[in-house]
Every structure is written in structure tokens, then in C-alpha cells.
Amino acid sequence: MTVITRFAPSPTGHLHVGNIRAALHNWLWARKSGGQFLLRLDDTDLERSRPEYADGIKADLHWLGLHWDGEEKQSDRFALYESRFEALKASGHVYPAYETAQELDLRRKILLGRGLPPVYDRAALSLTPDQIAAYEAEGRPPHWRFKLDHEQPIVWTDLIRGDQRFDPKLLSDPVIRRADGSWLYMLPSVIDDVAMGVTHVLRGEDHVSNTATQIQMFTALGAPLPAFAHEALLTGSEGKLSKRLGSLGVAHFREIGLEAMSVASLLARLGSSQPIEPFADIQPLIDSFDFAHFGRAPARFDEAELATLNQKIVHLLPFEAVADRLPQGMDEAAWTAIRPNLETVADAADWWRIVTGPIDAPAPAEEDHDFLAAAHGILSNAAFDADIWRTLTGALKDATGRKGKTLFLPLRRALTGLDHGPDMGQFLPLIGREEALTRLRS
């Protein structure tokens, strides 16, 4: 069996961190299994779906490195849905209902007021031909519901949640088509999963009850069931569901300078028993992905953890991986010297400005004037090679008796304008003799 997974976002907005995690996990499972990862744009909501959102979803997936093996768009598949719908009508698996939204809402409130579950009572199945004719005469078109089989308990073994069991009598027959003829999510998704050969449906635990009803739709269509995996939803770092998670997406991550691999490294294992580690390459995450590692405990997403992970990954990146994002003139030696001090690759530009100058160095303390003058003299005559920092500080130590902080800090301040930064043994050769002499002189 060829494993086929799918990511099926609705192009009615931008991807958020929860969507990204679902896409990543589907992609990882397909790649580990040597299968296919498909992108399906669930754009049946023609009013809210926008081409720019679809383009944005694709751009986000490309940035994350989640390239897909096939693409479908639900708005191109209405003829398929219509044919399957007619077949379900003929077999008695769907039926028309004429209640208005207001009537249904009132019924729900009455049931809740009595302490009962707000399950649809199937009143539409009891309508007489005369009642149906009356509704039609007043211009009230029906919406359509899928008729659940109350005699067949719904069971499946979830790859994350284990054995699942639902009593269909406690579920409402889902509305699959609105009165205006437009489709809701449930049935087209099943029809597409069957037609696309999807073998694994991995999504959030908020879809568990949807899966229960969709399993009967697969059966009604005479199709084999895919495997299902429902993972715990993300929560904020404080342990509560956070509205902010709904606004965090690729645009935000890119804006603050994060690497795609830091996002992948965190989200690939968030909610699992595996340690979250910095990976500069995706292959270890593919190799280690396993549904058995995921549990039902809430998965806590922490931006601070993501930032720390990003910093560690930046420190692993070779020059070739970042060369096209570095300031003009910054070479491999400069990247190697500056890299340990970076939180994001974009921060390299700030350090490069310290190399190229000018800098705004603090005025030296009175007792450091003669010391810096001595440094100027030594630097003027010493061989300016890869060991120049060791040569300079060694000669100054012998000449002045200084050591430790009193030796190194005045030099660093004069040469960089800062109290901290890259290893000066690597940094001073980047600054160059003439620029360093100018800074010591001033």
C-alpha cells in the first residue's frame, strides 16, 4: 500500500501555527513511508475563499519546505460531488429537511433547557407529502442531511487516541448541503479522500466527532476506511487555549527572522514524548516521526522556546546556507566569526556594520589613554595576520602588566564600541589594520 496523506486547508484566511503543525505531520509521515503528500484546497465556500489566500498557503508551505506531490481544488470537483450525492439519495442515505435555522436553534435551546443533548430529532423523516408540498409551495427549499445508521456502533482504532467508540443515536444527522445547494465540509471531504486514495487522515482532536460521522459516509459510499490519527490541539505557554495561536503564522515567523527549520524542529515533536532539538536538516525529523510518540496531553506552544531553538539552529548553519541573505562583502570568515553571537541571520547585518564602521565608541577612561596609545603603536608595527589579536594583547600585557578584564575590555570598546561580542581573535582581522588604527587613535 502506498501511503497517501493530505493537507486540506480552506483558502479563507492565512495558515496559523496549528494548521502548519498538521501540514508538517502529514508531510513527515508521507516522506517517512515513501508515500505521497497531497494538497487539497477546500474552497467550497465560494464567498469567503480568495485566490490570494490560496497563493499564500502555497507560499507558506514552500517556505517551510513542505512540497506536495499533487494538488486538487474542491471548486473544480462539484460534478463529482453531485454524482455521489445522487447515488446516496437513491440508496436512502441522505434526506431533505425543511427546518429554518431559527427553528433548529429553538429546538436546541429547549433540549438543553431540559438537560438533554441537542441531538436532531429527525422530524424531517416524518413529514407527509402534503407537508412537503406546502413547504415547496411557499418557496422553502430543503437542506440535506446524511442519515446515520443507528444500529451500527461507530468504532475505530485511532493511531494516537487508541480505541474509539461512538453511539450514533447520540449524534445528529449532519447537514451536508445547504438549502442554496452549496456544500458543507463533511461529505465532499469524504468523497475526495476516497477519490484521491488517501490512506491516512491526520488532524486535530476537534475533528473526532466529525470522523465518527464520516466513517459511516465512507461505508455508505462502499469505500475502505483510511487510518485516522487525532492529535492534541496546541495551547499557549500558560496552558490555556490562546487566541494568539490563531494569529501566529508563517508571515509572523518570517517577520521576526526565524528559520523554517526552527519552526519544523519545534512543531514536529510538540506533543510527543521525543525531545525537541535543533535540526538544521529535515531528514532526522522524517526518520524519527512516529504516531506512537504522541499522546493526548495538551501540546504547549511557547514562542520563547521557538526563539531559543532558532538561535541554536542559526549557530549550526554553514555559510553556503545563508550566503544570499548576508550583507554585501560578508564572506565565510566573517560569518564564522559573527555566527555564535546571532539570534537570527538578519542580526548579522548589525555586526557587519561594526566591522565596516563607522562606530560610536564610548570615550575611554582617563587611565586607558596611554594604554590605547600603546596598543596603537604595537598594532602599527606588528605583522597583521590571523594571530594579530594574540600578538597585540600579548605585547600589551608584557608592556603594561595588565591582564584579564583591564587588558581586554578597553580594547574591545575602542575597536567595536561594545562590551561584548564575537571572539576578537576572529573579529580584529575582519576590521583590518587601518580601520583598527583609526579607531584606536580616535
Same domain? 332 vs 380: no
Cα 115 → chain centroid: 40
In the prediction, which pLDDT does 242 show?
65
Query: What mean pLDDT value characterizes the chain?
Result: 95
- pLDDT at residue 236 above 70? yes
Please indicate, yes or no, whether residues 342 and 272 belong to a single structural domain of this protein. Answer: no
CATH number at residue 390: 1.10.10.350
85, 107: one domain:
yes
**Judgement on whether residues 143 and 221 belong to the same structural domain of the protein:** no
Question: Side-chain half-sphere of 422: how many Cα atoms within 13 Å?
Answer: 28
Annotated binding site: 243
The answer to whether residue 245 scores a pLDDT higher than 90 is no
Confidence tier at 237 by pLDDT (50, 70, 90) = confident
Query: What is the rounded average pLDDT of the residues 382-407?
Result: 96
Asked which of 155, 177, 199 is the last residue of a domain, the reply is 177
User: Would residue 85 count as lying in a domain?
Assistant: yes
Residues 149 and 293 in one domain: no
Task: Note the residue count of the chain.
Answer: 442
Q: pLDDT digit string (tens) for 376-386?
A: 999 999 999 99
Whether residues 301 and 330 share a domain: the answer is: no
Looking at the structure, tell me whether residues 269 and 337 fall in a common domain: no
- CA-based end-to-end distance of the chain: 73
- The verdict on residue 192 lying in a domain is yes
Question: What is the 3-state composition of the chain as percent helix, strand, coil, each rounded to the nearest 5?
Answer: 50, 10, 35
Is residue 74 one of the residues assigned to a domain?
Answer: no
- Tens-place pLDDT, residues 267-282: 999 999 999 999 999 9
CATH number of the structural domain spanning residue 213: 3.40.50.620
Under the banding of pLDDT at 50, 70 and 90, the label for residue 248 is confident
Q: Say if CB 144 and CB 95 are below 8 A apart.
A: yes
- Rounded to whole angstroms, what are the CA distances from 239 to 1, 242, 270, 298, 330? 39, 9, 14, 8, 43
Say how far apart CA 197 and CA 174 lie, in whole Å. 24
- Cell numbers representing residue 260 in the block: 523554517
CA distances from 432 to 1, 2, 153, 428, 439 (A): 62, 59, 78, 6, 11
Q: How far apart are CA 204 and CA 158, in angstroms?
A: 12
Assign 302 a pLDDT band (cuts: 50, 70, 90).
Answer: very high
Domain that holds residue 131: 80-177
Q: Note whether 224 and 26 are within 8 A (CB).
A: no
Residue 159 falls within a domain, yes or no?
yes
Both 58 and 198 in a single domain?
yes
> Average pLDDT, stretch 83-95?
98
Give the count of domains, the chain: 5
Residue 173 shares a structural domain with residue 95? yes
pTM, two decimals, is: 0.91
Q: Can you give the CATH number for the domain in which 301 is found? A: 1.10.1160.10
Helix, coil or strand: residue 324: helix
Q: Is residue 297 part of a domain?
A: yes
Residue 432 placed within a domain: yes
Q: What is the pLDDT of residues 173-229, one digit of tens each?
A: 999 999 999 999 999 999 999 999 999 999 999 999 999 999 999 999 999 999 999
Confidence of residue 239 (pLDDT cuts 50, 70, 90): low
Instruction: Identify the sign of the CA torsion 340, 342, 346, 350.
Output: negative
Provide the 3-class DSSP secondary structure of residue 181: coil
337 and 396 fall within a common domain: no
Q: In terms of domains, do 379 and 434 share one?
A: yes
Whether residue 306 is found in the same domain as residue 323:
no
- For residue 75, being part of any structural domain is answered with no
Count CB neighbours of 278 within 10 A. Answer: 18
Residue 73 domain-assigned (yes or no): no
| Pairwise CA distance, residues 240 & 298, whole Å | 9
CATH code: domain of residue 156? 3.90.800.10
Binding residues for ATP: 243
